[in-house]
Amino acid sequence: MQNLNHTAPGNLQDRPHIPEFAKAQDSLDLRGFWKTLSRQKGTILSIIGIVLLLTLVFTLFSSPLYRATATLNVERETNKVIDVEFLNQGDIRDTRDFYQTQFELIRRYSNIERVVEKLNLNSDIIRRSMLARIKGLIVSPGATTEKAALVQAISDNLYIEPIKNSRLVNVHFEGSSPEKSAAVANAIVESFVAANAELQVSATTNAEKLLNEGITAARSKLEESEKKLSDYAQEHTIVQLDNKSSTTSTYKIVQLSDQLGQAQREIIAIKTDPERSGELAAAQESAELIRDELNREEERALKRQNLNNTYKTLEREVETDQAAYQGLLQRLKEINVAGSVATNNLRVVDKAQPPLDKHKPNMMTNMAFASLLGLLLGIAVAFLRDFMDDSVKDINELERQTQLPILGIIPAVREKDPRKMAQLALTEPRSTVAESFRTLRTTLRFKLREANGDNTLFITSSRANEGKTTVSINLASTYAHAGNKVLLIDADLRNPSLHKVMGTTEENGLTSYLTGESTLDKLAQTSNVQNLDIIPAGKTSHDPAELLSNRRMQDLLQIATENYDMVIIDGPPILGLADAMILSSMTTLTVLAVDSGNTRTTTVTNALKRLRQSGLTVSGILLNQVSDASDLGYEDDYYSYPTRV
């Protein structure tokens, strides 16, 4: 018997052009995102519910946390009652650095340690998580470690909040009780203010100490320089006249100069008076003597001048030491005044009051955050699952990957009884299931007309349990209900099920005929559906592929096409078996049934690849068990299906 499959072998180059709507879209498809969320809405809602439940349990079983707030005024510099330059040099750093430094000083270890010792605090002030409590029961810290841990815990629960556009700072502390929280917050700011005041007093005290030491040294140096000046003046007979240094030589030079001038005038007078000419020699001798004495005194005066220069140097040293000494005394007075009136640049504006209500946990805030977190996690998991899920999710994408048309869509039903499912097309003729099989029947008529071959149809699947038997029975019933004489053959010789669903016997089945144990005239059985005959598979065989490739199978199909309007073969799945390829080569049309919700696209493409490698062609794909056609890309132009149970 010649091959009745008139469809050309599966050469990909000979395939018809795939329309644009079936190609992958490069642009952002918001509808695709919405479809993904719709498909995974159960996952999203489950994750949201789990997060909300965990948050609710955590909130209900969490210990309350109370926040107390003290307000502090932080000035950049203290008010200068008296300007002491070397104490108030100003801070040229950035203002933000200054305030950030103050904030860090508030939470420094030494400040909190003083608070712990002052209030005699213990770990009860801190709200500990359940994990921390369990850890505390297992590990018992030492005294030093326990104190350090408490200081660190208080620091972790201390929050510094600057008030915008002001010099005010809110110091929050979160503790296990309202009263203790307020006490700790107040103690922290008071300790910080007191420490800052002590720092200023300490600076004044240190400056005073340094100045006293400098004054003592300056006084000793002044006394030493004054003594040197006094000793030098006495040694060289230097006296002070009108605040000017003078010696005996100075007076002599003045007297001798006057005498010399008088002698010279006398000589001039004698020379101009002839009557006194006898006296001239004596006057000249007297003047000469005076000049000689004057020269000697001037030499002595030059020596005295050198001594006087040294005296003036010593005198300037005394003046310098005196000025330094007086300056230090003046600064000491200023420091004493500044220390007595100095003010603090820190001031407590408002003390912390015990809070009236707990700060954490906040049920509304936690649940709102949990809802958002659950939604984000749910969406992330949904897209991850959708990405990992290789099942059929889009008809256009399936057509693009398989290069096959979708011949029909069979909706999912609530019914679970295989026998009732096999008769749905007849028992519920107005249902969407019946309508979908009628639509499939019409489509296959056109396909058979195009193939121009015998009316033989092979229903197969990629793997087991994809509903091909149910599809075969309902499709055969639909043909029979339209007045066609139909033969339904169960060719799944490995796992036959047609006789179970239709309620017929498996005796004289296909296996018996192929092995020669039964004749052809006793093979077909009448079903409970008018115009529908059935050939069950019969007993299972150890080598079904060998039986199906027997000449008797070809003779059976030839005789069947002569006596029936439609011959439908319910065959085995493709993957792992050679049976499906043998049956596909004997029929006009091969239809691949695919469970849309459970079958991976990779499984479908691998099955098709195996058929095409053997030179066989699948006529199209039948999507089975479709819960929502709109999710697969049919949108609103397809009828709605009942919800699958």
Rounded to whole angstroms, the Cα distance separating 502 from 277 reads 188
Q: Per the domain annotation, does 204 fall within a domain? A: no
pLDDT given at position 591: 92
What average pLDDT does range 401-410 have in this prediction? Answer: 86
Which residues on neighbouring strands pair with residue 493, listed in sequence order? none
Q: What is the mean pLDDT of residues 376-383?
A: 90
Q: What is the pLDDT of residues 493-550, one digit of tens each?
A: 888 888 778 877 777 788 888 888 888 877 888 888 899 999 998 887 778 888 888 8
Residues 553 and 425 in one domain: yes
Q: Is the pLDDT of residue 12 over 50?
A: no
DSSP 30: H
115 has a pLDDT exceeding 80: yes
According to the per-residue pLDDT averaged within each range, which of 176-190, 411-425, 513-527 is highest?
A: 176-190
- Residue-wise pLDDT tens digits, 53-89: 998 888 777 778 888 999 988 887 654 444 444 444 4
* Amino acid identity at 605: T
Residues 289-328 have pLDDT tens digits of 877 777 777 677 677 667 777 777 877 887 887 888 787 7
CA separation for the pair 438, 428 (Å, rounded): 12
Q: Are residues 380 and 430 in the same domain?
A: no
Going by C-beta distance under 8 Å and a sequence separation of 6 or more, which residues neighbour residue 107? 155, 158, 160
Q: Which of 296, 329, 350 is the last residue of a domain?
A: 350
With a cut of 60, say whether residue 3 has pLDDT above it. Answer: no
pLDDT category at 565 given cuts 50, 70, 90 is very high
Q: Got the DSSP string for 186-223?
A: HHHHHHHHHHHHHHHHHHHHHHHHHHHHHHHHHHHHHH
Residue 536, token pair as written in the block: 């069950």
What would the pLDDT profile of 243-252 be if each residue is shown by its tens digit?
Answer: 554 555 666 7
Question: How many CB atoms sit inside 10 A of residue 48's CB?
Answer: 20
- pLDDT above 90 covers what percent of the chain? 10
Beta strands in 76-222 (DSSP E): 158-162, 168-175
Domain, as residue range, for 41? 29-62+362-389
pLDDT score for 18: 37
To the nearest whole number, what is the mean pLDDT of the chain? 77
Residues 462 and 581 in one domain: yes
**46 and 96 share a domain?**
no
**Whether residues 47 and 132 fall in one domain:** no
Q: pLDDT tens across 188-236, in order?
A: 888 888 887 777 666 666 666 777 777 788 778 777 887 777 777 777 7
Residue 488 shares a structural domain with residue 624? yes
Alpha-carbon distance 398 to 390, whole Å?
A: 11
For residues 509 and 400, state if they share a domain: yes
Asked, for residue 151, whether it belongs to a domain, the answer is yes
Q: Flag whether pLDDT at 363 surpasses 60.
A: yes
In this predicted structure, what is the pLDDT of residue 17? 38
Q: pLDDT band for 377, please (50, 70, 90 cuts).
A: very high
247, 260: one domain:
yes
What pLDDT sits at residue 639? 45
Cβ contacts of 148 within 8 Å, gap of 6 or more = none
- The better pLDDT of the pair 590, 575 is held by 590
| Average pLDDT score over residue span 439-455 | 87
Is 502 among the domain residues?
A: yes
Could you tell me the sign of the dihedral formed by the alpha carbons of 289, 291, 292, 297, in that order? Answer: positive
Could you give phi then psi for residue 4, rounded to 5 degrees?
-85, 0
- Residue 134: predicted pLDDT: 55
Q: Which residue has the higher pLDDT, 627 or 80?
A: 627
Identify the band that residue 137 occupies on the pLDDT scale cut at 50, 70 and 90.
low
One domain for residues 147 and 235: no
The answer to whether residues 107 and 165 belong to one domain is yes
The percentage of the chain sitting over the pLDDT mark of 70, rounded to a whole number, equals 78
In a domain, 259, yes or no: yes
Question: Is residue 219 in a domain?
Answer: yes
pLDDT digits over 102-112, tens only? Answer: 888 888 888 88
Residues 239 and 368 in one domain: no
Do 76 and 49 reside in the same domain of the chain? no
pLDDT score at 488: 92
What's the confidence (pLDDT) of residue 197?
76
Does residue 242 or residue 464 have the better pLDDT? 464
Residue 593 lies in a domain: yes
Distance from C-alpha of 398 to C-alpha of 18, rounded to nearest angstrom = 12
3-state class percentages of the chain: helix first, strand second, coil last, to nearest 5: 55, 10, 30
Least Cα distance to 428 among 445, 414, 442 occurs for 414
Tokens found for residue 482: 């339209």
Would you say residue 412 lies in a domain?
yes
Q: Is residue 637 part of a domain?
A: no
Res 22 pLDDT > 60? no
3-state secondary structure of 344: coil
pLDDT value for 456: 92
User: What domain count does the chain have?
Assistant: 4
Closest C-alpha to 33, from 564, 393, 295: 393
DSSP string, 268-296: HHHHH-GGGGGGHHHHHHHHHHHHHHHHH
The reported pLDDT for the residue numbered 418 is 66
Question: Bigger pLDDT: 588 or 144?
Answer: 588
